[in-house]
Structure 1
Amino acid sequence: MNRIDRLSAILIQLQSKKVVRALEIAERFDISLRTVYRDIRALEEAGVPIGAEAGVGYFMMEGYNLPPVKFSKDEAGAILMATKLAEKQTDVSIRNNLNDALFKIRSALKVEEKDYLESIENNIEVIHSPQTINADFPNHFLADIQSALANKKVINFDYYSNYNDAFTNRDVEPMSLCYYSRNWHLVGYCRLRNDLRDFRSDRIMKLRVTETSFDPARHEDYKGYLDTIVRGTDLIEVNVRFDAKVSRYIQESRYFMGFIESEVHDDYVDMKFMTSDLNIFARWLLQFTTAAKVISPSLLEDKVIEFFQEGLAAYSQVEAK
């Protein structure tokens, strides 16, 4: 990127946030801090009103606006792909807001970019496993949770627990929204349990953002809690040997089972997984019959045999009738 393009990009970046640190600019363009300082000075000399706060960062003075932002074809294509992903992995509230935003973005595109998007739109698709929709869960709270996060407001909702098949009412100080295990999760301080908790968004009902504020600094350890949840504290290492011909067909599905690494040989592939549920893993392995062999742990091998024998017994009874 030449300097003129970089200066324009820095100007846009400065308008994207209330305050932008010099280090953020340096990392984005892979330049030194000294170069950042020179670029900021060049923008100031060109008449751009940039303010600076020592130890904090740069900001645009109130009242200054850039001309309408223009998109390249590649940028427009990237926006389209991001939209396709978001349509499959967010809830109704976010999808509605996203569609409104996309109309505005499209309206700002030149004819060439619009034609480019139309030419590829029908050929880009995100295939997503259909999920059963429960009418009891409205699935439209992500936008409200975002608002509560930004404004540091306590949220109140009814939460369904699988363990006891019941709802409890919670007042929660929201700390983070994160996507893992194919679901959006709210991590926050639960005032009912007096501790940090993880809530799946698709098990939330009757959510409302209250007027009660809270101080996020009281729960700075939530990132460690979140890391523990995502990584899992009770994961079990599993090692399986797959026939080479079969291994090529599980390149995608293995990641859903906690795949870590593999070692390829001539006729077979050894794969390592980390799982929290040997029962689920054993049932997954059954589909490969003799093409998969458990190396460790022995408990997993026992479970595969147990489930196979249960299935064999069930079918034997059907044949007997």
Structure 2
Amino acid sequence: MNDHYLKKLDRVTAILTQLQSKPIVRAQDLAKKFDVSIRTIYRDVKTLENAGIPIIGEAGSGYSLMDGYKLPPIMFTKEEVLSFITAEKLMQRFSHESLGNHYRTAMEKVRSVLKYSDRNLLANIEKQIDIFDNYPKTEDKIKNIIPTILESIAEKVQISIDYKAVNEEISTRTIEVVGVFFEFNFWYIIAYCTLRNDFRQFRIDRILKLTKTQTPFLQEYGQINDYRKKPNGNKTTVKLLVDKKIMGHLGNSKVYYGLTEEKETKKGFELTFETEWITDGFPRWLITFADYAEIIEPEYLKITMKELIQKVSKNFYA
């Protein structure tokens, strides 16, 4: 069998896997995924149909398997089996508790369909992989909170939450969730808040109570990244000129404080931030490397920094 037919066999098998795992598969997406023409995808689908696979749909609209049609379990490659155990280790360290429990049961099902040799492979290798995480774990206040939030997105219904802000103030909000994301060891929601009539970000471990309502929302919000990239009206633009020698020590902290642009110049790196913490959090972070940084704008940040440095000086040189 020549290389052309081997590639086609691999591609047709992968297309079948896509059909098993998704409700609708578009030819355009498959062509992009496998880097072939749409016409080639049409021929591959025809190959599956000729093999007796009941595929519903047509070119231009998308394909799916006939409802109720079952295929034998798919066999995993050795590389895929090894990737499972690596993913499991990552989930143990970085997943929210409500997700981790479901992932463990899913992995038990995956293990049950593995070949005996692959089960032995997992058993022998899983103790040789570890993920070291020094962040403290957040406590689950509500069981299955993330699955419930994801259900509200899928069903397009509002949820009601009791939320404790960073200043300890508790408020009740009705929100329409756009999506969830993980950043700097915390899970967050981006949602439309009916109280504020605007989009807001909520840290999931600060939700004290959550109720999925029966009230639907009709608005199509799009993808979560569309909202994470949008500037917030409460943010302040800050520009710093930072010495090159300190850049390696800033790590992810510069992203946490709202980095939007990083440009190298002859004098150093010009960093642009969009920050909500201009009065307190940002100046206190900046003071940790202030001897290697120059404030370009805003002017009042220079005044804030002078006042903060004077306050610190009084505490140590009283």
TM-score range, shorter chain: 0.7 to 0.9
Tell me the residue number matched to 1:315: 316
Is 1:270–2:269 an aligned residue pair? yes
Please, what TM-score do these two structures have when normalized by structure 2? 0.81
Q: Which residue of 2 aligns with 1:85?
A: 90
Q: CA-to-partner distance for each residue in 1:38-64, whole Å, 9 max, x for gaps?
A: 000011111111111564211111333
1:196, 1:79 → 2: CA distance? 36
2:62 paired with 1:57: yes
**Contact map agreement 2:86 2:129 (CA 8 A) in 1:** no
Are the counterparts in 2 of residues 157 and 205 from structure 1 also a CA contact under 8 Å? yes
Structure 2: how far apart are the matches of 1:174 and 1:289? 39
User: Is 1:283–2:278 an aligned residue pair?
Assistant: no
Name structure 1 gaps, 5 residues minimum: none
Mapped contact 1:189–1:219 kept (Cα < 8 A): no
91-100 or 186-195, larger mean C-alpha shift: 186-195
The answer to whether structure 1 residue 109 and structure 2 residue 114 are counterparts is yes
> Residue 67 of structure 1: SS of its match in structure 2?
coil
For residue 258 of structure 1, what is the amino acid of its counterpart? G
> Residue type of the partner of 1:9?
A
Matched residue SS, 1:177: strand
| Partner residue in 2 for 1:144 | 148
In the alignment, the residues of structure 2 paired with residue 37 and residue 261 of structure 1 have an alpha-carbon distance, to the nearest angstrom, of 45
Where 1:206 maps in the other structure, the secondary structure is strand
Q: Does 1:203 align with 2:206?
A: yes
Secondary structure in 1 aligned to 2:264? strand
The equivalent position to 2:73 in structure 1, one of 54, 68, 91, is: 68
Q: Is the 8 A contact 1:240 1:295 kept in 2?
A: yes
- Which region of structure 1 is more displaced relative to structure 2, 194-203 or 279-288? 194-203
Q: Which residue of 2 aligns with 1:219?
A: 219
Q: Find the aligned partners of 1:17 and 1:225 in 2 and give their Cα distance.
A: 20
SS in 1 for 2:21: coil
Give 1:232's aligned residue: 231
Q: Structure 2: how far apart are the matches of 1:121 and 1:232?
A: 45
SS at match of 2:74: coil
Aligned pair 1:130/2:144, yes or no?
Answer: no
For residues 204-256 of structure 1, the C-alpha deviation after alignment (integer angstroms, 9 at most, x for no partner) is 2232334x252x5x312x34897355443324132222252x33333443333
User: Quick one: which amino acid aligns to residue 102 of structure 1?
Assistant: M
- How large is the RMSD of aligned CA atoms in angstroms? 3.1
* Cα pair 2:238 2:273 within 8 Å, conserved: yes
2:93–2:131 CA contact under 8 A, matched in 1: no
Contact 1:275 1:281 in 2 (8 A): no
Preserved contact between residue 262 and residue 271 of structure 2 (Cα < 8 Å): yes
Counterpart code for 2:268: V
**Structure 2 regions of 5+ residues with no counterpart?**
1-5
TM superposition shift of 1:18: 1.7
CA distance in 2, matches of 1:17, 1:102: 19
- Structure 1 residue 8: Cα displacement: 0.6
